Amino acid sequence: MMTITKKIAIVGAGVAGMALAILATKQGHQVSLFERGSNLSSLGGGVTLWPNAMFVMQKMGLDKKVMQVGGTPCMMRQFDQHGLLQAEFDILTVNSLCGFPSVAVLRRELMSLLAGALESLGREITFNCAITAADVMTLGQEFDLVVGADGRMNSVIRHALYAENVTPRYHGFVNVIGVGRQRKGILNKAIDDFRGQGERFGIVPVNDGWCYWAGAWNAPAANDHPRAYWCDELHRRFRDWPDPVQDMLLSCDSASVSGVFVHDIDPLPFWHQGNVLMIGDAAHASLPTSGQGACQALEDAWHLTRLLKESDDLESALQGFYQQRQSKTSAAQWVGRQVAKKVFSEQPEPLLPASTLSAAELSRFWMQGLT
């Protein structure tokens, strides 16, 4: 079917907005991308692009490039806080069942790859442009479709669709993230997850000794703290934890450290009204313990462009988008909450294997809907 070119406004140049801008432009749509920041955000030390995300990276023509700047973890290992191995999970088996690799990449590298791809398509991002609720109305009149890819906490598009009725939910733990280096001579292609009671430290190798990491612990919600507070707190809490954790803390580039009181949102009954739609975290933010936030944001971008191609009727494309995406994104949100409950609740459950799913089950879940 010939796609009828649409004028699409995208609010937010995060992973979801950038991927949608690339895929929709490639499909011939006329895209405008608005970002409130003065440059691209690189919040989060890094992300692991599991095979479902690499499927979308391939559709954008970026799979080989991301493999050049990223790393390919082979194994996921779970330890207790003394370094005793509790469970292992073979990532390569799931990759081969899915037919795509898993790639760990620093956030700044991922964002710059997406920005480069957009630039080579001749599209520019309009920076320093914070869209307001009033702007959403105007954009709705000027464009065929307005897509809110404006993140989890204060999405103006979600506000336009739901007024005050959606409050991001705090789950009682803080996530402090950063970038560090493994000690010279250690060649480690395993994602290592050290867990104590109500505390966790995860390390993801990327390449050339670089890793991104996250330390997390139970904490009441509070206002943001300065970077120095998070650095002191990390050193205090994890000072007796195993060597790989110490390596990260000692080599840590303190400019990369940030702490987030992480919220998610409950699954929502709709994501669009008229020609205004939300995608990514704005629609279905999950906890970092799902490991799927950025991956689902990428999937959204691919599914939306596919549906716009399959149907010229916008309403049926947007309804189809919700129907096809809702159960998978809700499952990712649920997994994030279950893992968080095991590690961070007031009475944490005993430590359990990294994944109770078999490789076959996990690969079926990840690749669901991607053909």
103 counts as binding ligand FAD under rule CB under 6 A: no
Compose the 122-151 pattern: x for residues touching ligand FAD by CB under 6 A, - for all others.
Answer: --------xx-----------------xxx
- The smaller minimum CB distance to ligand FAD, of residues 3 and 56, is found at 56
Phi/psi of residue 215, nearest 5 degrees: -105, 135
Among residues 6 and 171, whose Cβ is nearest to ligand FAD?
171
343 part of the interface to ligand FAD, by CB under 6 A: no
**Contact call for residue 336 and ligand FAD (CB under 6 A):** no
Q: For residue 260, state whether it binds ligand FAD (rule: CB under 6 A).
A: yes
Q: What is the DSSP string of 253-282?
A: -GGG-EEEEEEE----S-SEETTEEE-THH
Binding status of residue 177 toward ligand FAD by CB under 6 A: yes
Q: Is 179 helix (H, G, I), strand (E, B) or coil?
A: strand
Of 25, 32, 48, 207, the one binding ligand FAD (CB under 6 A) is 48
294 in contact with ligand FAD (CB under 6 A)? yes
248 near 214, Cβ under 8 Å?
no
Among 66, 295, 332, 343, binds ligand FAD (CB under 6 A): 295
Q: Which is nearer to ligand FAD, 85 or 130 (CB)?
A: 130
Strand partners, 212: 179, 204
**Contact partners, residue 32, CB within 8 Å, separation at least 6:** 7, 8, 9, 10, 126, 143
Is the separation of the CB atoms in 286 and 292 below 8 Å? Answer: yes
Write down the least CB distance from residue 4 to ligand FAD, Å: 26
Non-local CB neighbours of 186 within 8 Å, separated by 6+ positions: 209
**CA-closest candidate to residue 130, choices 38, 224, 44, 17:** 38
Could you tell me the two tokens for 72?
A: 């390919």
Cα gap 278→272, rounded to integer Å: 7
Site for ligand FAD in 264-293 (CB under 6 A): 280-282, 288, 291-293
- CB nearer to ligand FAD: give 40 or 314: 40
3-42: which residues touch ligand FAD (CB under 6 A)?
11-17, 34-37, 41
| 44 in contact with ligand FAD (CB under 6 A) | yes
Output the smallest distance, CB 151 to ligand FAD, in A.
3
Identity of the amino acid at 305: T
- Name which of 67 and 260 has its Cβ closer to ligand FAD: 260
Block residue for tokens 């480069």: 116
**Residues contacting residue 211 through CB under 8 Å, at least 6 positions apart:** 179, 180, 181, 182, 203, 204, 205, 248
Applying CB under 6 A, among 136, 262, 276, 318 the residue interacting with ligand FAD is: 262
Site string (149-168) toward ligand FAD, x via CB under 6 A: xxx----x------------
**Given the rule CB under 6 A, which residues bind ligand FAD?**
11-17, 34-37, 41, 44, 47-48, 130-131, 149-151, 156, 175, 177, 260, 262, 280-282, 288, 291-295, 297
